Structure 1
Amino acid sequence: MYASVLLPTDGSEASNEAVAVGLDVAARFDAAAHAVYVVDERFVAAEYDAAVEGAERDGERALDAVGDLAAERGVAVEKHLRRGVPHREIVDAVADYGADLVVMGTHGRSGLDRLVHLGSTTERVVRAAPVQVLTVPVDSTRDRSRSE
């Protein structure tokens, strides 16, 4: 049913849960898996400033976590670090990587990041993507039990 699954990540709990679901879908349908992290350039002052370098390190860590989870599940995953506006880059990645399904968490960043972004990235992808978007909510009950 699916040949290529796109797994956007920001390293948050929401995206980690969505990645796990997306990897399960990829395994079930023997689909290619593509993990993507987008460095949001809207809030960067210069091309190579400390904020960009920090965001790229965060992105590499998030993508490595996806790679580790994929290896545990026996799924090959290609990792992609992109720059731009997250929802636009994710929608563009659908065509770039031939994805026919996007799997995303229903929320990610919180605090100031959430206030700065007008509307959620997931909501914008759902509205703009030319393919199906599977949204995965964070299970707050399960999250609490993990920390106890």
Structure 2
Amino acid sequence: MFQTIVFAYDGSPECRDALKEGIELAGRLNARCHLLAVVPAPPALALTAGPLPDSYLEHAQTDIDKVLEEGLALLRQAGLNAVGSVKIWEEPAEAIGLFAREVGADVVVVGHHRRSAIDRWWHGSVGHSLLDRLPCSLFVSMPRAAANPSS
């Protein structure tokens, strides 16, 4: 059923929860796993001030490498083989959709980030945007705290 799984991963607690849930699914199905980190392109406004300093790019690369390595370590600890990829893209949902097509994904796993209605309106929702962009199923993991509101 789900033989190729893409995990959209940014290292946040919500994405860690989603990764753990997806690992359980992948283990049961013996699925191929792809861990994808989408790094937003530098804003055009920042680029108008001139070239970005090398230290900015090095720092950004170090941060994303740490995020990917953390996620890959969790997958490997569960006995799963996984490939890590980084996409630098303006629109995360578009990058995730294109990547899912590239690897022939059967399902994409994302973590749900709880935000206010205004914040969601202003910044949009990656999960919602994925509904129209994916060639496959979408698994949205709810934050652990939301599963038990009384705690």
Query: What TM-score range do you get, normalising by the shorter chain?
Result: 0.7 to 0.9
Structure 2 residue 84 is matched with structure 1 residue 79: yes
Pairing 1:55-66 to 2, within 5 Å after superposition? 55-66=60-71
Pairing 1:1-148 to 2, within 5 Å after superposition? 1-43=1-43, 45=47, 46=51, 49-84=54-89, 85-107=91-113, 118-140=123-145
Equivalents in 2 of 1:15, 1:38: separation in Å? 13
Equivalent position amino acid for 1:105 in 2: G
Percent sequence identity over matched residues? 22
Structure 1 counterpart SS, 2:80: coil
- The count of corresponding residues between Structure 1 and Structure 2 is 141
Equivalent position amino acid for 2:63 in 1: D
TM-score, normalised to structure 2, is 0.80
Equivalent position amino acid for 1:36 in 2: L
Equivalents in 2 of 1:86, 1:70: separation in Å? 22
Task: Give CA deviations for 1:57-104 in whole Å, capped at 9, x if unaligned.
Answer: 222111111111112111111000111121111000101111110010
Equivalents in 2 of 1:15, 1:73: separation in Å? 17
TM-score, normalised to structure 1, is 0.82
Contact (CA 8 Å) 1:39, 1:56: kept in 2 or not?
A: no
The root-mean-square deviation of aligned C-alpha atoms, in Å, is 2.7
Structure with higher Rg: it is 2
Equivalents in 2 of 1:13, 1:121: separation in Å? 16
Give the unaligned 5+ runs of structure 2: none
Equivalents in 2 of 1:116, 1:51: separation in Å? 29
Equivalents in 2 of 1:54, 1:30: separation in Å? 35
Equivalents in 2 of 1:117, 1:26: separation in Å? 34
Deviation (angstroms), 1:27: 1.1
